[in-house]
Amino acid sequence: MDDCIFCKIVKREIKAEIKKETDNFIVIPDIKPSAKTHLLIITKNHVSDLKFAEDNLLVEAKNLALDLQNELSLDEFQFRVNWGKLLEVNHLHFHFMANFN
Ligand SMILES: [Zn+2]
């Protein structure tokens, strides 16, 4: 989608610190973090929301979250997907959060 900020980040038209990249996802820091560790796991293809996500994408996002947990040596983390008005960008993404205090 032309006016989608996440699509532009995926296409490198907007600069972002890409922490990790797989065939179907990129991982970037949230620009408005709610925790010391707050990453966004964003689909490379434009999927407008969870309703339209293929099951394999959800499994892959979960595995990516578990990889991040290992890489960052975290005992616990929150893995969140927003819906409705909480969805600030209408492009499927998961919040990976840890180190709350
Ligand atoms: Zn998009």
> Which residues form the domain of 75?
5-98
Domain of 20: which CATH number?
Answer: 3.30.428.10
10-residue mean pLDDT profile of the chain (101 residues): values are: 92 96 97 96 94 94 98 97 88 96 77
Diameter of the chain by CA atoms?
39
| Number of domains into which the chain is organized | 1
pLDDT score recorded for residue 49: 87
Residue 93: active-site member: yes
- Residues in the 5 Å CB sphere of ion ligand 1: 1, 4, 6-7, 46, 91
Q: Which of 38, 91, 93, 95 is catalytic?
A: 93
- Dist. CA 73 → ligand 1 center (Å): 30
Which pairs count as long-range contacts for 26-34, CB under 8 Å and 24+ apart, including other chains?
27/64, 27/68, 27/96, 30/95, 34/95, 34/97
Strand partners, 79: 96
Cβ(97)–Cβ(77) below 8 Å: yes
Torsion of CA 24, 53, 85, 38, to 10 degrees: -30
